[in-house]
Amino acid sequence: MTITITAFERSPDRGRGLARDMRIRWALEEVGQPYDVRLVSFKTMREPAHLALQPFGQIPTYEEGDLALFESGAIVLHIGERHAGLLPDDENGRARALTWMFAALNTVEPPIFDRALARILERNEPWYEQRLHALEVSIRKRLDDLSRRLGDADWLDGAFSAGDLLMVTVLLRLKGSDILDGYPNLSAYVARGEARPAYKRAFAAQLAVFTAASTT
């Protein structure tokens, strides 16, 4: 059955792989599933047809036969459950991988995403510097703990899993910042994720969309 996902027609990140369709592309590449992409504009995302798929008018979405899903974490989990390559075979290992998926999205991502939003939307507010500082303190607290837990391991819990896939996509938003640079083992962890052939194929595919849009 054909899998179709949605992605930005013109991603505000200019093809840097930060929009959340990247997680789905990467997961599908890891498990070797081909997929189609339907590109949507901000206007299309507010139209009834898209809202029926994604009640909050966002990307990504995932369609496969009569199944329609939204929320990148749920979609990655679905892919991991249907296909080998993202979740361990043993029950306990699977449960731990799920725990890391939730940790990435619920514990590590919020201050990182809020910082990114603040840098775009709140830059001119009188309290901007204080807010940025508070967010960066929160991020460093999370990264201190994550860095200690990862230690010198390659991945968070044995072999690469959907937990690592989500964690790497979350940390990638800090790439090039002095925050991530302060944690050499986390920088190396992110680089290991980016070096995976599946990641590279997914990144190239989403970058091609931006490149094509810029030449039209």
Q: Is 58 in the site for ligand GTB (CB under 6 A)?
A: yes
Q: Is 174 in the site for ligand GTB (CB under 6 A)?
A: no
Name which of 29 and 109 has its Cβ closer to ligand GTB.
109
The C-alpha atoms of residue 109 and residue 100 are separated, in whole angstroms, by 12
Cβ-in-10-Å burial (0-12, 13-18, 19+) of 126 comes to exposed
Query: Closest separation between CB of residue 90 and ligand GTB, Å?
Result: 27
Query: Closest separation between CB of residue 164 and ligand GTB, Å?
Result: 17
Find out whether 61 and 70 touch, Cβ atoms under 8 Å. Answer: yes
Binding piece for ligand GTB, criterion CB under 6 A, among 13-21, 26-34, 137-145, 207-215? 13-21
Query: Closest separation between CB of residue 89 and ligand GTB, Å?
Result: 26
The C-alpha atoms of residue 18 and residue 95 are separated, in whole angstroms, by 27
Among 3, 37, 53, 59, binds ligand GTB (CB under 6 A): 59
Name which of 73 and 88 has its Cβ closer to ligand GTB.
73
Query: Closest separation between CB of residue 18 and ligand GTB, Å?
Result: 4
Binding piece for ligand GTB, criterion CB under 6 A, among 17-25, 142-150, 190-198, 207-215? 17-25
Q: Is 57 in the site for ligand GTB (CB under 6 A)?
A: yes
Q: Is 12 in the site for ligand GTB (CB under 6 A)?
A: yes
Among 10, 39, 44, 71, binds ligand GTB (CB under 6 A): 71
The C-alpha atoms of residue 156 and residue 158 are separated, in whole angstroms, by 6
Q: Is 18 in the site for ligand GTB (CB under 6 A)?
A: yes
**Which own/partner contact pairs does 132-136 have at CB distance under 8 Å and 24+ positions apart?**
135/111, 136/179
Structure tokens, 111: 């201050």
Judged by the rule CB under 6 A, the positions of this chain that interact with ligand GTB are 12-13, 18-20, 57-60, 71-73
